[in-house]
Amino acid sequence: MTDHVTHGGFAAIETEREEAAHNRAAAERGDAPLLPSERLWGFWEFTYANSALAIATWAFLIGGAIGLFVGPKEGIAAIVIGNIVGVALTALATTPLSGRYGIEQFVALRSQFGYNGSRVVYLLAVVVLTMGWLAVLAMMFGRSIDGLAALSAGEAANPTGIKMIIAAVGAILVTWFIVAKGPTSIKFFNMVVSPALVILMIVMLYLILQHRSFAELLEMPALAPPFEDSTLNFIIAVEVNLAAGFSWWPYIGNLARLTKNERTAFWPNIVGIFGAAVLGEIVGLLAAVALGDSDPTIWMTKIAGPAIGIIALLFVAFANMTSMANILYTSIVGLRQVGTASIRAISWGMILFLFCVIPLGLVVFYPQMYDGFFIFLVWTSALNSALAGIGIADYFFLRGQKLDMRSLHAPQESGPYRFWGGFNPIGLAALAVGFGVYVLVFNPQTLASLPAFKYLTASVPSCLAAGVVHYLLTRLFARGAGWGNYPGR
C-alpha cells in the first residue's frame, strides 16, 4: 500500500515536472509569455549574445560599402551616427516590451497590426530581409572559397564564376542541414566563431595599420563617390548606417524576451549591437579604402598575403554560415507564431528547405545582387524605420507601456486584436505612409533625393511620419470602432 502511494506520488511529481518542462518549452518557442523566473539572461549574457549576432561578416560588407561614398574620417562619423540612431530607435520599439512581458515579438505585434496584419508585417520585414541576407552571405561564402581556390592555384579569382555559385549553393544547403539539426549546433558555432571574429578584426586592423598610419588613412578619399556634393555623399553614408541599425528590428525583440527585465533588455543593445557593429564596419571601411576594394573577400587576400589570407578567407567563409544559421533559425521560429495551422503542420526540415528556395534562386540567377547589396539594405530601412516609429507610438504613447497578455495569447478571432478582419487598417496605413515618405525623400534604387534629405535623412522622417500617423488615427478612430483594446484617456 505504502509502495503504491509512494509510486503514485512519484508518478504525479514526474507528470507535473514533465508538464512544467513542456509549458516552459512552449513559452520559449513563443507560444506563451516567459515568466521573469524563466528568463536566463542578465546584462552581460545578453550583451554577449547580441554581440555574437552583430560581429558578423556583414559588418565588413557594410563598412566596405561606406568607403564607396566617403573617406574614412567621414565614414567613421557616418557609421557612429547612423548606427546609434538606428539601434536606439529599434531597441526602444522592440526591447522594453519584450523585457517587461517576456512576450514573443510577433505576438506583441498583434496589438499594433492585428493578428493577420502581424503576418503581413512578418512576410514583408522578416521573410524578404532574411532571404536577401541569406543570398548575400552565401555569395560571400562562395567568393571566399573562389578566392581560396585562386590563391592556392596562383590564378586570378572570378567572383561571379561557377565556382562561386556552386560554393554559395553548398553554403545554403549546409546551413539548412545545421539548422534542421536544431539550436544546439548553432550555439556551438556562435561560441567559437564570435570570439574568433573579434580576433580576426583586430589582426586585420593591425595589418592595415602596418600599411598606412591612422592619420594617413583618415585623409584618404572615397573609392567611388556618386555625387560631387560631399554633404550628400555623407548623408547617404549615414542613411546606409541608419538602415543597418534599423535592420535589427526583426531580430532583437525575440532575443530581449530572454532577459530578466526592461533594463537588461535595452542597454546591452547599445554595448553589444551598436559597439560590435561599429567596430566591424570601421575595420571594413579602413581596409576597403586602404586597399582600393570594398569587397572583403578581395581585400583580405591583398592585406594578409597568401598564407594568412587563406586562413582569413576560410574563416570568413564559415563565419558566414554561422550568421546564415542564426537568421534562418530566428525567422523560422517566428514563422511558427504567425503561420497558419497548415504552415505549422509542415515538418521543421521541410519548412527550412522551402524558405531556402528563393535564396538559392538569387544565388544562381542573380549573383549581381552582391555588388548592390547596400541598395537592398537601404530598401529594408523604408519598412523597418516605419515599423520602429509605429512600435514606439503604440507601446509608449497609446498603451502607456501596458499589454494585455490574455488577449494577445487567446484565440484571436473574437478578441480585441481582430480589428477589421484581423488587420488594423490604422497600423497598416501608418506603415504605408512611413514607406511612402522614405521613398519620396530618398529613392534607394536611383539615389535620387529631395533637398530635405541632406538635413533629415530618410529613415528619421519615415519613422516619425509612421509614428505620428499611427498615433493620431488611433486617437481619432480606434476607440470609436472598438479596436485594439486601447486604454481610455
Partner 1 sequence: METDIAWQKELERRARIYDDIEAGGRWEGVMTTLDYAGMAVFTVVLIVGFWIWGA
Q: Residue 231 has which C-alpha cell?
A: 554633404
Taking each helix axis from N to C end, the angle separating 373-392 and 459-473, rounded to the nearest 10 degrees, works out to 30
**Nearest-approach distance from CB 20 to partner 1, in angstroms:** 10
Q: What distance in Å separates the CA atoms of residue 481 and residue 382, rounded to the nearest whole number?
A: 29
Q: How far is the CB of 260 from partner 1 (least distance, A)?
A: 6
Q: Which C-beta is closer to partner 1: that of 209 or that of 270?
A: 270
Query: Residue 152 or 231: which CB sits closer to partner 1?
Result: 231
DSSP letter string, 444-481 = TTT--B-TTHHHH-SHHHHHHHHHHHHHHHIIIIIHHH
To partner 1, the closest distance from the beta carbon of 321 in angstroms equals 33
CB atoms within 10 A of CB 172: 26
Residue 397's alpha-carbon distances to 7, 32, 135, 371, in angstroms, are 55, 25, 38, 41
Q: Nearest distance from residue 74's CB to partner 1, in Å? A: 5
What residues contact 487, with CB distance under 8 A and at least 6 apart? 399, 400, 402
Shortest reach from residue 26's CB to partner 1, in Å: 8
Which residues form the interface with partner 1 (CB under 8 A)?
A: 19, 23, 26-27, 32-33, 35-36, 73-78, 80-81, 84-85, 88, 92, 96, 99-101, 231, 234, 260-264, 266-267, 270, 402, 405-406, 409-410
- CB-wise, 79 or 321, nearer to partner 1? 79
> Which amino acid makes up residue 187?
K
- Find the DSSP H helices in 127-213: 128-153, 162-181, 183-211
Nearer to partner 1, 32 or 441 (CB): 32
By beta-carbon proximity to partner 1, the closer residue of 59 and 76 is 76
213 vs 401, which CB is nearer to partner 1?
401
Q: Toward partner 1, which CB reaches closer, 350 or 410?
A: 410
Kindly state the smallest distance separating residue 32's Cβ from partner 1, in Å.
Answer: 5
Q: Minimum distance between the CB of residue 40 and partner 1, rounded to whole angstroms?
A: 14
Nearer to partner 1 by Cβ, of 233 and 330: the residue is: 233
Q: Do 368 and 160 touch, CB atoms closer than 8 A?
A: yes
Q: Position of cell 554560415?
A: 321
> Which residues have CB under 8 Å from 32's CB, separation 6+?
23, 26, 409
Which C-beta is closer to partner 1: that of 36 or that of 482?
Answer: 36
What is the DSSP code string of 290-335? Answer: HHT---HHHHHHHHHHHHHHHHHHHHHHHHHHHHHHHHHHHHHHHH
How near is the Cβ of 96 to partner 1 at its closest, in Å?
Answer: 6
In angstroms, what is the minimal distance from the CB of 156 to partner 1?
36
CB of 71 within 8 A of CB of 289? yes
| CA–CA separation, 138 and 157 (whole Å) | 17
